[in-house]
Structure 1
Amino acid sequence: MTDATAEWVPTGIDEEVPSAARVYDYLLGGGHNFSADRVLAEELVKVMPAREMARMNRQYLHRAVRFLVSEGITQFLDLGSGIPTVGNVHEVAQRLDPAARVVYVDNESVAVAHSEMILRGNSAAAAIAADMREPETILGNARVSELIDFSRPVGLLMVAVTQFIADEDDPWTMARRYQTALAPGSYMALSAFTWDNAPDAMRAAIEVFANSRDPLHPRTRDQILRLFGDFTLVEPGLVYTPEWRPERPDDSAETPQSNLYAGVAIKN
Protein backbone atom coordinates (compact mmCIF):
# COMPACT_ATOMS: atom_id res chain seq x y z
CA MET A 1 0.00 0.00 0.00
CA THR A 2 1.41 3.38 -1.01
CA ASP A 3 1.31 6.42 1.26
CA ALA A 4 -1.30 7.99 -1.04
CA THR A 5 -3.45 4.91 -0.79
CA ALA A 6 -3.07 4.78 2.97
CA GLU A 7 -4.67 8.21 3.25
CA TRP A 8 -8.03 6.96 1.99
CA VAL A 9 -8.05 3.48 3.57
CA PRO A 10 -8.99 3.91 7.23
CA THR A 11 -7.62 1.48 9.78
CA GLY A 12 -9.73 -1.60 10.39
CA ILE A 13 -11.91 -1.36 7.27
CA ASP A 14 -13.25 -4.69 5.97
CA GLU A 15 -12.29 -4.68 2.31
CA GLU A 16 -14.17 -7.93 1.68
CA VAL A 17 -17.64 -6.44 2.26
CA PRO A 18 -18.80 -4.23 -0.64
CA SER A 19 -20.31 -0.83 0.06
CA ALA A 20 -22.70 1.19 -2.10
CA ALA A 21 -20.46 4.27 -1.95
CA ARG A 22 -17.44 2.39 -3.27
CA VAL A 23 -19.52 0.58 -5.92
CA TYR A 24 -20.84 3.95 -7.13
CA ASP A 25 -17.29 5.31 -7.17
CA TYR A 26 -16.21 2.41 -9.39
CA LEU A 27 -19.17 2.82 -11.74
CA LEU A 28 -18.24 6.50 -12.18
CA GLY A 29 -14.65 5.58 -13.00
CA GLY A 30 -13.18 6.42 -9.59
CA GLY A 31 -10.26 4.67 -7.93
CA HIS A 32 -11.36 4.55 -4.29
CA ASN A 33 -12.78 1.04 -4.20
CA PHE A 34 -11.71 -2.51 -3.48
CA SER A 35 -11.89 -5.80 -5.35
CA ALA A 36 -15.15 -6.81 -3.65
CA ASP A 37 -16.76 -3.55 -4.73
CA ARG A 38 -15.66 -4.04 -8.32
CA VAL A 39 -16.96 -7.60 -8.39
CA LEU A 40 -20.38 -6.45 -7.13
CA ALA A 41 -20.43 -3.59 -9.62
CA GLU A 42 -19.72 -5.93 -12.52
CA GLU A 43 -22.52 -8.22 -11.35
CA LEU A 44 -24.82 -5.19 -11.24
CA VAL A 45 -23.87 -4.20 -14.79
CA LYS A 46 -25.05 -7.62 -15.95
CA VAL A 47 -28.63 -6.97 -14.77
CA MET A 48 -29.07 -3.23 -15.42
CA PRO A 49 -27.27 -0.33 -17.17
CA ALA A 50 -25.61 0.67 -13.91
CA ARG A 51 -22.80 2.76 -15.40
CA GLU A 52 -25.27 4.83 -17.41
CA MET A 53 -27.52 5.19 -14.37
CA ALA A 54 -24.60 6.39 -12.23
CA ARG A 55 -23.53 8.90 -14.88
CA MET A 56 -27.07 10.25 -15.37
CA ASN A 57 -27.54 10.58 -11.62
CA ARG A 58 -24.26 12.47 -11.27
CA GLN A 59 -25.27 14.81 -14.09
CA TYR A 60 -28.60 15.41 -12.37
CA LEU A 61 -26.75 16.35 -9.18
CA HIS A 62 -24.65 18.89 -11.06
CA ARG A 63 -27.71 20.45 -12.69
CA ALA A 64 -29.57 20.56 -9.38
CA VAL A 65 -26.68 22.28 -7.58
CA ARG A 66 -26.32 24.84 -10.36
CA PHE A 67 -30.06 25.50 -10.19
CA LEU A 68 -29.95 25.97 -6.41
CA VAL A 69 -27.06 28.42 -6.66
CA SER A 70 -29.01 30.34 -9.30
CA GLU A 71 -31.86 30.53 -6.78
CA GLY A 72 -29.59 32.11 -4.18
CA ILE A 73 -28.66 29.01 -2.17
CA THR A 74 -25.16 29.40 -0.76
CA GLN A 75 -25.05 26.54 1.78
CA PHE A 76 -25.51 22.84 1.21
CA LEU A 77 -25.97 19.80 3.46
CA ASP A 78 -25.19 16.69 1.39
CA LEU A 79 -26.48 13.57 3.16
CA GLY A 80 -25.06 10.22 2.09
CA SER A 81 -22.61 12.12 -0.07
CA GLY A 82 -20.50 9.10 -1.01
CA ILE A 83 -16.94 9.14 -2.30
CA PRO A 84 -16.01 12.40 -4.03
CA THR A 85 -15.37 12.13 -7.75
CA VAL A 86 -14.89 14.83 -10.38
CA GLY A 87 -17.48 17.56 -10.04
CA ASN A 88 -18.20 17.40 -6.31
CA VAL A 89 -20.91 19.61 -4.82
CA HIS A 90 -18.41 22.11 -3.40
CA GLU A 91 -16.60 22.34 -6.75
CA VAL A 92 -19.81 23.01 -8.67
CA ALA A 93 -21.21 25.45 -6.10
CA GLN A 94 -17.99 27.33 -5.34
CA ARG A 95 -17.21 27.74 -9.03
CA LEU A 96 -20.43 29.75 -9.31
CA ASP A 97 -20.22 31.35 -5.86
CA PRO A 98 -16.84 31.19 -4.09
CA ALA A 99 -18.58 31.89 -0.77
CA ALA A 100 -20.75 28.75 -0.98
CA ARG A 101 -20.43 26.40 1.99
CA VAL A 102 -20.86 22.62 1.91
CA VAL A 103 -21.00 19.89 4.53
CA TYR A 104 -20.73 16.31 3.34
CA VAL A 105 -22.18 13.55 5.52
CA ASP A 106 -21.57 9.83 5.10
CA ASN A 107 -21.28 6.73 7.26
CA GLU A 108 -18.77 5.07 4.91
CA SER A 109 -15.28 5.54 6.29
CA VAL A 110 -13.52 5.59 2.90
CA ALA A 111 -15.92 8.28 1.70
CA VAL A 112 -15.19 10.46 4.73
CA ALA A 113 -11.43 9.88 4.63
CA HIS A 114 -11.19 10.79 0.95
CA SER A 115 -13.47 13.80 1.42
CA GLU A 116 -11.29 15.10 4.24
CA MET A 117 -8.22 14.63 2.05
CA ILE A 118 -9.53 16.66 -0.89
CA LEU A 119 -11.02 19.37 1.35
CA ARG A 120 -7.74 20.27 3.04
CA GLY A 121 -7.32 24.01 2.85
CA ASN A 122 -10.98 24.64 1.97
CA SER A 123 -12.41 26.37 5.03
CA ALA A 124 -15.88 26.56 3.47
CA ALA A 125 -16.37 22.80 3.13
CA ALA A 126 -16.19 19.86 5.51
CA ALA A 127 -16.97 16.17 5.76
CA ILE A 128 -18.32 14.43 8.83
CA ALA A 129 -18.79 10.76 9.64
CA ALA A 130 -22.43 10.21 10.60
CA ASP A 131 -25.49 8.18 9.68
CA MET A 132 -28.21 10.21 7.97
CA ARG A 133 -30.77 8.11 9.87
CA GLU A 134 -29.76 10.10 12.97
CA PRO A 135 -30.88 13.67 12.15
CA GLU A 136 -30.36 15.02 15.66
CA THR A 137 -26.73 13.93 15.66
CA ILE A 138 -26.09 15.62 12.32
CA LEU A 139 -28.09 18.79 12.97
CA GLY A 140 -26.33 19.20 16.31
CA ASN A 141 -22.84 18.52 14.98
CA ALA A 142 -20.39 21.32 15.75
CA ARG A 143 -18.89 21.38 12.26
CA VAL A 144 -22.35 21.55 10.71
CA SER A 145 -23.22 24.45 13.00
CA GLU A 146 -20.03 26.28 11.99
CA LEU A 147 -20.78 26.12 8.28
CA ILE A 148 -24.57 25.97 8.01
CA ASP A 149 -26.83 28.76 9.26
CA PHE A 150 -30.25 27.13 9.56
CA SER A 151 -31.94 30.51 9.95
CA ARG A 152 -31.20 31.04 6.24
CA PRO A 153 -32.17 28.88 3.23
CA VAL A 154 -30.22 25.65 2.79
CA GLY A 155 -29.85 23.21 -0.08
CA LEU A 156 -30.56 19.75 1.38
CA LEU A 157 -29.25 16.96 -0.85
CA MET A 158 -30.37 13.33 -0.64
CA VAL A 159 -29.09 12.04 -3.95
CA ALA A 160 -29.26 8.29 -4.67
CA VAL A 161 -29.16 7.41 -0.98
CA THR A 162 -32.67 6.78 0.42
CA GLN A 163 -32.86 3.45 -1.41
CA PHE A 164 -30.35 2.17 1.13
CA ILE A 165 -32.69 2.94 4.04
CA ALA A 166 -35.17 0.19 4.88
CA ASP A 167 -38.86 0.88 5.40
CA GLU A 168 -38.54 -0.12 9.04
CA ASP A 169 -36.07 2.75 9.52
CA ASP A 170 -38.81 5.10 8.23
CA PRO A 171 -37.03 7.35 5.72
CA TRP A 172 -40.17 9.53 5.51
CA THR A 173 -39.99 10.58 9.17
CA MET A 174 -36.24 11.01 8.83
CA ALA A 175 -36.66 13.34 5.83
CA ARG A 176 -39.35 15.31 7.65
CA ARG A 177 -37.01 15.99 10.59
CA TYR A 178 -34.42 17.55 8.29
CA GLN A 179 -37.12 19.51 6.46
CA THR A 180 -38.43 20.90 9.75
CA ALA A 181 -34.97 22.26 10.58
CA LEU A 182 -34.77 24.26 7.34
CA ALA A 183 -35.77 27.88 6.87
CA PRO A 184 -38.43 28.88 4.32
CA GLY A 185 -36.86 29.26 0.90
CA SER A 186 -34.75 26.14 1.42
CA TYR A 187 -34.66 23.45 -1.23
CA MET A 188 -34.44 19.67 -1.17
CA ALA A 189 -32.91 17.75 -4.07
CA LEU A 190 -33.49 14.00 -4.09
CA SER A 191 -33.05 11.06 -6.41
CA ALA A 192 -33.92 7.45 -5.63
CA PHE A 193 -34.12 4.00 -7.18
CA THR A 194 -37.58 2.95 -8.31
CA TRP A 195 -39.43 -0.21 -9.22
CA ASP A 196 -41.44 1.58 -11.88
CA ASN A 197 -39.17 1.55 -14.91
CA ALA A 198 -37.69 -1.96 -14.91
CA PRO A 199 -39.03 -4.08 -12.03
CA ASP A 200 -37.35 -7.32 -13.11
CA ALA A 201 -33.95 -5.63 -13.34
CA MET A 202 -34.52 -4.04 -9.94
CA ARG A 203 -35.33 -7.42 -8.37
CA ALA A 204 -32.06 -8.72 -9.78
CA ALA A 205 -30.22 -5.68 -8.40
CA ILE A 206 -31.65 -6.37 -4.94
CA GLU A 207 -30.13 -9.85 -5.11
CA VAL A 208 -26.78 -8.42 -6.16
CA PHE A 209 -26.72 -6.01 -3.19
CA ALA A 210 -28.02 -8.59 -0.70
CA ASN A 211 -24.56 -9.47 0.62
CA SER A 212 -23.23 -5.93 0.74
CA ARG A 213 -23.24 -3.54 3.71
CA ASP A 214 -26.00 -1.60 1.93
CA PRO A 215 -29.03 -3.72 0.92
CA LEU A 216 -31.21 -2.09 -1.73
CA HIS A 217 -34.77 -0.82 -1.14
CA PRO A 218 -36.23 0.64 -4.36
CA ARG A 219 -39.59 2.40 -4.14
CA THR A 220 -42.56 3.43 -6.22
CA ARG A 221 -43.11 6.95 -7.48
CA ASP A 222 -45.73 7.62 -4.78
CA GLN A 223 -43.40 6.41 -2.04
CA ILE A 224 -40.61 8.65 -3.33
CA LEU A 225 -42.98 11.62 -3.60
CA ARG A 226 -43.76 11.23 0.11
CA LEU A 227 -40.10 11.89 0.91
CA PHE A 228 -40.56 15.52 -0.16
CA GLY A 229 -43.13 16.04 2.60
CA ASP A 230 -44.94 19.36 2.23
CA PHE A 231 -42.23 20.93 0.10
CA THR A 232 -43.42 22.07 -3.35
CA LEU A 233 -41.77 20.43 -6.35
CA VAL A 234 -40.38 22.82 -8.94
CA GLU A 235 -40.78 22.09 -12.64
CA PRO A 236 -40.63 19.51 -14.13
CA GLY A 237 -41.67 17.73 -10.92
CA LEU A 238 -40.59 14.17 -10.11
CA VAL A 239 -39.15 12.63 -13.27
CA TYR A 240 -36.41 10.23 -14.30
CA THR A 241 -32.91 11.67 -13.82
CA PRO A 242 -32.19 12.63 -17.46
CA GLU A 243 -35.57 14.38 -17.67
CA TRP A 244 -34.83 16.82 -14.85
CA ARG A 245 -34.00 20.08 -16.65
CA PRO A 246 -31.78 18.50 -19.33
CA GLU A 247 -29.14 20.77 -20.78
CA ARG A 248 -29.86 19.45 -24.28
CA PRO A 249 -33.21 18.21 -25.61
CA ASP A 250 -31.61 14.92 -26.66
CA ASP A 251 -30.56 14.12 -23.08
CA SER A 252 -34.06 13.02 -22.10
CA ALA A 253 -33.88 10.29 -24.77
CA GLU A 254 -31.81 8.35 -22.23
CA THR A 255 -34.82 7.95 -19.96
CA PRO A 256 -35.32 4.21 -20.71
CA GLN A 257 -31.94 3.52 -19.09
CA SER A 258 -32.76 5.38 -15.88
CA ASN A 259 -34.14 3.62 -12.84
CA LEU A 260 -33.99 6.67 -10.59
CA TYR A 261 -36.61 9.32 -10.05
CA ALA A 262 -35.32 12.82 -9.34
CA GLY A 263 -36.80 16.09 -8.20
CA VAL A 264 -36.13 19.38 -6.47
CA ALA A 265 -38.63 20.98 -4.09
CA ILE A 266 -38.84 24.25 -2.16
CA LYS A 267 -40.01 24.98 1.36
CA ASN A 268 -42.59 27.76 1.18
Structure 2
Amino acid sequence: MEGAHLVSQPRPETLTPEGVDLEHPNVARVYDFYLGGSANYAIDRVFAEKALERYPFVRPAAMANRLFLHRVVRYLAKRGIRQFIDVGSGVPTMGSTHQVADEIVPDAHCVYIDNEAVAVAHSQMLLEREDVTDRHTVIQADLREPDLLWSKIADSGVIDLDQPVALLLIAVLHVTQPGPDGEDVGPQSVARFRDLLPSGSYLGITHGTDDDVPEYRKREMSDFGKMYDKSATPVLWRSHADIEKFFGELPMVEPGATWIPLWHPEESSENAPEIEFDAPNDSVLWAGVAHKP
Protein backbone atom coordinates (compact mmCIF):
# COMPACT_ATOMS: atom_id res chain seq x y z
CA MET A 1 0.00 0.00 0.00
CA GLU A 2 2.87 2.38 0.70
CA GLY A 3 3.28 4.79 -2.17
CA ALA A 4 0.05 3.72 -3.84
CA HIS A 5 -2.63 6.30 -4.47
CA LEU A 6 -6.14 5.27 -3.53
CA VAL A 7 -8.32 5.24 -6.64
CA SER A 8 -11.99 5.53 -7.60
CA GLN A 9 -12.77 8.11 -4.94
CA PRO A 10 -15.43 10.61 -6.02
CA ARG A 11 -14.63 14.29 -5.96
CA PRO A 12 -15.90 15.79 -2.69
CA GLU A 13 -18.40 17.90 -4.65
CA THR A 14 -20.47 14.70 -4.72
CA LEU A 15 -20.51 14.35 -0.92
CA THR A 16 -20.03 17.86 0.44
CA PRO A 17 -20.76 17.84 4.19
CA GLU A 18 -22.91 20.63 5.55
CA GLY A 19 -21.00 23.68 6.70
CA VAL A 20 -17.84 23.12 4.61
CA ASP A 21 -16.06 26.40 3.84
CA LEU A 22 -15.79 26.66 0.06
CA GLU A 23 -14.67 30.28 0.11
CA HIS A 24 -11.11 29.49 1.23
CA PRO A 25 -8.61 26.74 0.43
CA ASN A 26 -8.21 24.26 3.27
CA VAL A 27 -4.85 22.85 4.33
CA ALA A 28 -6.04 19.22 4.58
CA ARG A 29 -7.58 19.29 1.11
CA VAL A 30 -4.60 21.14 -0.40
CA TYR A 31 -2.24 18.59 1.16
CA ASP A 32 -4.37 15.85 -0.38
CA PHE A 33 -3.83 17.46 -3.80
CA TYR A 34 -0.05 17.62 -3.23
CA LEU A 35 -0.13 13.84 -2.67
CA GLY A 36 -2.21 13.17 -5.78
CA GLY A 37 -5.56 12.63 -4.05
CA SER A 38 -9.08 13.54 -5.13
CA ALA A 39 -10.58 14.86 -1.88
CA ASN A 40 -10.26 18.52 -2.81
CA TYR A 41 -12.32 21.29 -4.35
CA ALA A 42 -11.60 23.70 -7.19
CA ILE A 43 -10.63 26.40 -4.67
CA ASP A 44 -8.03 24.03 -3.20
CA ARG A 45 -6.67 22.92 -6.58
CA VAL A 46 -6.18 26.48 -7.81
CA PHE A 47 -4.29 27.34 -4.62
CA ALA A 48 -2.17 24.15 -4.73
CA GLU A 49 -1.28 24.48 -8.39
CA LYS A 50 -0.15 28.06 -7.85
CA ALA A 51 1.91 26.98 -4.81
CA LEU A 52 3.58 24.12 -6.70
CA GLU A 53 4.37 26.36 -9.65
CA ARG A 54 6.13 28.84 -7.37
CA TYR A 55 7.54 26.40 -4.80
CA PRO A 56 8.13 22.96 -6.35
CA PHE A 57 9.88 21.73 -3.17
CA VAL A 58 6.45 21.42 -1.52
CA ARG A 59 5.33 18.22 -3.25
CA PRO A 60 8.43 16.08 -2.47
CA ALA A 61 8.36 17.41 1.10
CA ALA A 62 4.71 16.39 1.44
CA MET A 63 5.40 12.94 0.02
CA ALA A 64 8.43 12.45 2.26
CA ASN A 65 6.32 13.45 5.24
CA ARG A 66 3.74 10.77 4.40
CA LEU A 67 6.49 8.17 4.02
CA PHE A 68 7.84 9.18 7.44
CA LEU A 69 4.39 8.40 8.86
CA HIS A 70 4.52 4.97 7.22
CA ARG A 71 7.94 4.24 8.74
CA VAL A 72 6.84 5.32 12.21
CA VAL A 73 3.75 3.11 12.10
CA ARG A 74 5.80 0.16 10.85
CA TYR A 75 8.54 0.73 13.46
CA LEU A 76 6.08 0.95 16.36
CA ALA A 77 3.89 -1.94 15.22
CA LYS A 78 6.96 -4.17 15.18
CA ARG A 79 7.61 -3.12 18.77
CA GLY A 80 4.21 -4.07 20.11
CA ILE A 81 2.09 -0.96 19.58
CA ARG A 82 -1.40 -1.94 18.42
CA GLN A 83 -3.27 1.35 18.89
CA PHE A 84 -2.76 4.45 16.76
CA ILE A 85 -4.28 7.91 17.19
CA ASP A 86 -3.69 10.03 14.07
CA VAL A 87 -4.52 13.67 14.89
CA GLY A 88 -4.89 16.04 11.95
CA SER A 89 -4.98 12.97 9.74
CA GLY A 90 -6.31 14.73 6.67
CA VAL A 91 -7.77 12.62 3.90
CA PRO A 92 -6.95 9.04 2.86
CA THR A 93 -4.23 9.49 0.27
CA MET A 94 -1.00 7.59 -0.45
CA GLY A 95 -1.57 4.98 2.24
CA SER A 96 -3.31 5.61 5.54
CA THR A 97 -2.14 4.80 9.06
CA HIS A 98 -4.47 1.83 9.50
CA GLN A 99 -3.48 0.34 6.13
CA VAL A 100 0.21 0.40 7.00
CA ALA A 101 -0.45 -0.99 10.48
CA ASP A 102 -2.69 -3.75 9.10
CA GLU A 103 0.15 -4.89 6.85
CA ILE A 104 2.29 -5.56 9.94
CA VAL A 105 -0.21 -6.83 12.52
CA PRO A 106 -3.76 -8.22 12.19
CA ASP A 107 -5.10 -6.63 15.37
CA ALA A 108 -4.26 -2.93 14.95
CA HIS A 109 -6.78 -0.29 16.02
CA CYS A 110 -6.73 3.25 14.68
CA VAL A 111 -8.65 6.45 15.35
CA TYR A 112 -8.35 9.25 12.82
CA ILE A 113 -9.06 12.78 14.02
CA ASP A 114 -9.51 15.90 11.94
CA ASN A 115 -11.45 19.13 12.33
CA GLU A 116 -12.15 19.35 8.59
CA ALA A 117 -15.51 17.87 7.55
CA VAL A 118 -14.37 16.68 4.10
CA ALA A 119 -11.39 14.84 5.61
CA VAL A 120 -13.71 13.12 8.09
CA ALA A 121 -16.30 12.22 5.43
CA HIS A 122 -13.70 10.72 3.09
CA SER A 123 -12.01 8.79 5.87
CA GLN A 124 -15.34 7.36 6.96
CA MET A 125 -16.14 6.39 3.37
CA LEU A 126 -12.81 4.58 3.04
CA LEU A 127 -13.22 2.68 6.29
CA GLU A 128 -16.74 1.59 5.37
CA ARG A 129 -15.61 0.53 1.90
CA GLU A 130 -12.87 -1.62 3.44
CA ASP A 131 -15.31 -2.97 6.05
CA VAL A 132 -12.90 -2.27 8.92
CA THR A 133 -15.06 -0.06 11.12
CA ASP A 134 -14.90 -2.63 13.91
CA ARG A 135 -11.23 -1.71 14.48
CA HIS A 136 -10.81 1.72 12.90
CA THR A 137 -12.87 4.90 13.09
CA VAL A 138 -12.75 8.63 12.41
CA ILE A 139 -13.74 11.48 14.71
CA GLN A 140 -14.26 15.16 14.02
CA ALA A 141 -12.43 17.01 16.79
CA ASP A 142 -9.86 19.76 17.35
CA LEU A 143 -6.44 19.29 18.92
CA ARG A 144 -6.88 22.66 20.63
CA GLU A 145 -9.35 20.88 22.93
CA PRO A 146 -7.30 17.88 24.07
CA ASP A 147 -9.59 16.73 26.89
CA LEU A 148 -12.69 16.78 24.70
CA LEU A 149 -10.76 15.02 21.93
CA TRP A 150 -9.57 12.34 24.39
CA SER A 151 -13.11 11.87 25.64
CA LYS A 152 -14.36 11.31 22.08
CA ILE A 153 -11.64 8.70 21.55
CA ALA A 154 -12.75 6.88 24.68
CA ASP A 155 -16.38 7.03 23.59
CA SER A 156 -15.52 5.51 20.20
CA GLY A 157 -14.78 2.15 21.84
CA VAL A 158 -11.98 1.53 19.33
CA ILE A 159 -9.06 2.52 21.56
CA ASP A 160 -8.40 1.32 25.11
CA LEU A 161 -6.85 4.40 26.70
CA ASP A 162 -5.52 2.34 29.59
CA GLN A 163 -3.16 0.61 27.16
CA PRO A 164 -0.21 2.08 25.18
CA VAL A 165 -0.99 4.11 22.08
CA ALA A 166 0.96 5.88 19.36
CA LEU A 167 -0.16 9.51 19.22
CA LEU A 168 0.76 10.90 15.81
CA LEU A 169 0.86 14.66 15.19
CA ILE A 170 2.16 14.62 11.64
CA ALA A 171 2.50 18.00 9.89
CA VAL A 172 -0.39 19.40 11.92
CA LEU A 173 1.20 21.59 14.59
CA HIS A 174 2.47 24.14 12.08
CA VAL A 175 -1.11 24.67 10.88
CA THR A 176 -2.80 24.74 14.30
CA GLN A 177 -5.14 27.70 14.42
CA PRO A 178 -4.71 30.15 17.29
CA GLY A 179 -6.92 30.15 20.34
CA PRO A 180 -9.86 32.52 20.87
CA ASP A 181 -7.56 35.34 21.97
CA GLY A 182 -5.07 34.77 19.15
CA GLU A 183 -2.66 32.84 21.37
CA ASP A 184 -0.52 29.93 20.23
CA VAL A 185 -2.24 26.97 21.88
CA GLY A 186 -0.10 24.26 20.29
CA PRO A 187 2.43 23.87 23.12
CA GLN A 188 -0.16 23.70 25.90
CA SER A 189 -2.33 21.27 23.90
CA VAL A 190 0.58 18.90 23.30
CA ALA A 191 1.64 19.18 26.95
CA ARG A 192 -1.85 18.04 27.92
CA PHE A 193 -1.66 15.15 25.45
CA ARG A 194 1.63 14.07 27.05
CA ASP A 195 -0.12 13.97 30.42
CA LEU A 196 -3.02 11.95 29.00
CA LEU A 197 -0.86 9.35 27.29
CA PRO A 198 -0.82 6.01 29.14
CA SER A 199 2.52 4.51 30.16
CA GLY A 200 4.28 2.73 27.32
CA SER A 201 2.92 5.10 24.68
CA TYR A 202 4.75 6.97 21.93
CA LEU A 203 4.44 10.52 20.58
CA GLY A 204 5.40 11.15 16.93
CA ILE A 205 5.68 14.66 15.49
CA THR A 206 6.71 16.30 12.23
CA HIS A 207 6.81 20.07 11.88
CA GLY A 208 7.84 22.48 9.14
CA THR A 209 10.89 24.60 9.92
CA ASP A 210 13.05 27.18 8.19
CA ASP A 211 15.80 26.52 10.74
CA ASP A 212 19.12 25.41 9.23
CA VAL A 213 17.93 25.51 5.63
CA PRO A 214 19.62 27.39 2.76
CA GLU A 215 18.80 31.08 2.52
CA TYR A 216 16.93 30.64 -0.76
CA ARG A 217 14.73 27.96 0.79
CA LYS A 218 14.12 30.15 3.84
CA ARG A 219 12.86 32.90 1.54
CA GLU A 220 10.67 30.40 -0.33
CA MET A 221 9.19 29.14 2.92
CA SER A 222 8.46 32.69 4.05
CA ASP A 223 6.65 33.45 0.80
CA PHE A 224 4.89 30.07 0.86
CA GLY A 225 3.70 30.79 4.39
CA LYS A 226 2.29 34.14 3.27
CA MET A 227 0.14 32.28 0.74
CA TYR A 228 -1.39 30.28 3.58
CA ASP A 229 -1.96 33.45 5.60
CA LYS A 230 -4.70 34.22 3.06
CA SER A 231 -6.26 30.79 3.51
CA ALA A 232 -8.44 29.43 6.34
CA THR A 233 -5.37 27.81 7.92
CA PRO A 234 -2.22 29.97 8.24
CA VAL A 235 1.09 28.25 8.96
CA LEU A 236 3.74 28.79 11.62
CA TRP A 237 7.31 27.60 11.09
CA ARG A 238 9.08 26.85 14.37
CA SER A 239 12.76 26.42 15.18
CA HIS A 240 14.28 23.02 15.93
CA ALA A 241 14.42 23.92 19.62
CA ASP A 242 10.77 24.94 19.76
CA ILE A 243 9.69 21.79 17.93
CA GLU A 244 11.67 19.62 20.33
CA LYS A 245 9.91 21.29 23.27
CA PHE A 246 6.73 19.50 22.18
CA PHE A 247 8.27 16.26 23.45
CA GLY A 248 8.77 17.71 26.93
CA GLU A 249 10.90 15.44 29.12
CA LEU A 250 9.97 12.25 27.26
CA PRO A 251 13.01 10.26 26.11
CA MET A 252 13.48 10.25 22.35
CA VAL A 253 13.69 7.17 20.18
CA GLU A 254 17.02 7.05 18.35
CA PRO A 255 18.21 8.97 16.35
CA GLY A 256 16.34 11.71 18.24
CA ALA A 257 14.96 14.76 16.48
CA THR A 258 16.13 14.94 12.88
CA TRP A 259 15.14 15.67 9.29
CA ILE A 260 12.42 13.31 8.11
CA PRO A 261 14.50 11.38 5.52
CA LEU A 262 16.99 10.41 8.24
CA TRP A 263 14.52 8.78 10.63
CA HIS A 264 14.85 4.98 10.33
CA PRO A 265 15.04 4.73 6.53
CA GLU A 266 15.41 0.94 6.96
CA GLU A 267 11.69 0.85 7.76
CA SER A 268 10.78 1.89 4.22
CA SER A 269 8.82 -0.68 2.25
CA GLU A 270 10.27 -2.21 -0.89
CA ASN A 271 7.83 -0.33 -3.11
CA ALA A 272 8.15 3.07 -1.39
CA PRO A 273 8.76 5.84 -3.95
CA GLU A 274 12.22 7.39 -4.03
CA ILE A 275 12.15 11.04 -2.96
CA GLU A 276 15.21 12.91 -4.22
CA PHE A 277 16.60 15.66 -1.97
CA ASP A 278 19.86 17.54 -2.49
CA ALA A 279 20.35 17.28 1.28
CA PRO A 280 18.18 16.09 4.19
CA ASN A 281 17.31 19.67 5.19
CA ASP A 282 15.70 20.11 1.77
CA SER A 283 12.76 18.19 3.24
CA VAL A 284 12.07 21.23 5.52
CA LEU A 285 10.40 18.98 8.12
CA TRP A 286 11.93 18.31 11.54
CA ALA A 287 10.68 15.19 13.26
CA GLY A 288 11.02 12.70 16.03
CA VAL A 289 9.34 10.05 18.16
CA ALA A 290 9.41 9.97 21.95
CA HIS A 291 8.47 7.24 24.41
CA LYS A 292 6.51 7.63 27.64
CA PRO A 293 7.96 5.09 30.12
Question: Does the alignment reach a TM-score above 0.5?
Answer: yes
Q: In the TM superposition, what are the counterparts of 1:228-267 in structure 2 within 5 Å?
A: 228-247=247-266, 254-267=279-292
Residue of structure 2 equivalent to 1:153:
164
Q: In the TM superposition, what are the counterparts of 1:8-47 in structure 2 within 5 Å?
A: 8-45=15-52, 46-47=54-55
Residue of structure 2 equivalent to 1:222:
241
State the distance in 2 between where 1:194 and 1:225 align: 12
State the distance in 2 between where 1:161 and 1:111 align: 13
Displacement of 1:52 in angstroms is 0.4
The Cα offsets for residues 35-61 of structure 1, whole Å up to 9 and x where unpaired, read as 211122123221351110011001100
Does 146-155 or 34-43 show the bigger shift? Answer: 34-43
The size of the alignment, in residue pairs, is 266
Does 201-210 or 134-143 show the bigger shift? Answer: 134-143
The Cα offsets for residues 220-250 of structure 1, whole Å up to 9 and x where unpaired, read as 0000000111211111111111111113799
State the distance in 1 between where 2:284 and 2:28 align: 18
Aligned residues of 1:125 and 1:147 also touching (Cα < 8 A): yes
* Root-mean-square deviation (Å): 2.1
TM-score scaled by structure 1? 0.93
Which ranges of structure 1 fall in alignment gaps of 5 or more residues?
Answer: none
Which of 171, 174, 193 matches 2:189?
A: 174
User: 2:27 corresponds to which letter in structure 1?
Assistant: A
User: 2:201 corresponds to which letter in structure 1?
Assistant: S
Give the secondary structure class of the aligned counterpart of 1:189. strand
Give the secondary structure class of the aligned counterpart of 2:24. coil
Q: Give every structure 1 segment of 4 or more consecutive aligned residues whose post-TM-superposition deviation is greater than 6 Å.
A: 248-252
Residue of structure 1 equivalent to 2:123:
115
State the distance in 2 between where 1:267 and 1:118 align: 31
Aligned residues of 2:83 and 2:165 also touching (Cα < 8 A): yes
- Determine if the alignment matches structure 1 residue 187 to structure 2 residue 202: yes
Which of 53, 72, 85 matches 1:77?
A: 85
Cα 1:72–1:213 shift into 2, 3 Å? same
State the distance in 1 between where 2:62 and 2:222 align: 18
Aligned residues of 2:81 and 2:165 also touching (Cα < 8 A): yes
Does 249-258 or 51-60 show the bigger shift? Answer: 249-258
Q: In the TM superposition, what are the counterparts of 1:83-162 in structure 2 within 5 Å?
A: 83-120=91-128, 121-122=131-132, 123-141=134-152, 144-162=155-173
Does 19-28 or 178-187 show the bigger shift? Answer: 178-187
Which ranges of structure 2 fall in alignment gaps of 5 or more residues?
Answer: 1-8, 269-273
Residue of structure 1 equivalent to 2:4:
none
TM-score scaled by structure 2? 0.85
Which of 75, 90, 98 matches 1:67?
A: 75
Displacement of 1:256 in angstroms is 3.9
Cα 1:213–1:63 shift into 2, 3 Å? same
State the distance in 2 between where 1:114 and 1:250 align: 27
Cα 1:177–1:243 shift into 2, 3 Å? same
